[in-house]
Amino acid sequence: MEQKPSRDSAPGVGAYAALHADATALLAGWTPTGAAAGRARDRTLDLLAGGPAALSREHRAGHVTASALVLDATGERILLCLHGKFHRWMQLGGHCEPGDRTLAGAALREAGEESGIAGLVVDPVPIDVDIHPVACQGGSLHHDVRFAVFAPAGATERVSDESEALGWFPPGRLPEPLAGGTAQLVAPALAALRRRAG
């Protein structure tokens, strides 16, 4: 797993310039998957209007993150992690890094790091945007842009340091305790899989 930068070695906000441009264009052109996602998108665009700092975990007012709901090749199973800190089942994902050029790429990187699965493919169209409070910097907000990611047939997962466990679950029978906002990703992720198959 990639080593996360320490606070002392945090890069300048210029390292996020390309990612900032991608995130702004992506969300400005995105058709939200629901009313709540639309409100979160608008708030995230307001945050991004302040510049590339909005992509850095150091930005206490809030920062954009990227996550991925991983589906198997058939759409009959969804991969979730039991998060090591929150002790809830949730989609994979996390903070953007200076090397990320696109939000979809950040979500794909996180999915690969946290699942250990090679050959994942990301749908570049977000399936949701969600804003929730987190403990970063003593209290902040994650503006989480969520994507559907597809695993190849026969994929084998490997638990990372950030998870207590990984598990595949049928879309209609997700495990408990489940993180808030995870269940709402299932329908748009399955729709993305159908678009990809069609």
CA pair distance 122, 149, nearest whole angstrom = 4
Exposure of 128 in the CB half-sphere (CA atoms within 13 A): 24
Question: Alpha-carbon distance 142 to 60, whole Å?
Answer: 10
Q: How deeply is 85 buried, as exposed, middle or buried, from its count of CB atoms within 10 A (0-12, 13-18, 19+)?
A: exposed
Residue 5 scores a pLDDT above 50: no
Residue by residue, what is the 3-state secondary structure of 91-104? Answer: CEEEECCCCCCCHH
User: Could you tell me if 67 and 93 are in contact, meaning their C-beta atoms sit under 8 angstroms apart?
Assistant: yes
CA distances from 188 to 31, 142, 147 (A): 12, 20, 9
Tens of pLDDT, residues 153-190: 999 999 988 788 999 999 999 999 999 899 999 999 99
Cα separation, 79 vs 100, whole angstroms:
23
Percent of the chain with pLDDT over 70: 94
Hunting for tokens 């559907």 — which residue is that?
Answer: 148
Record the tokens describing residue 57, joined without a space: 């975990």
The model's pTM is 0.92
Residue 84 has pLDDT above 90, yes or no: no
Average pLDDT over residues 6-25: 77
- Three-state secondary structure call for residue 158: coil
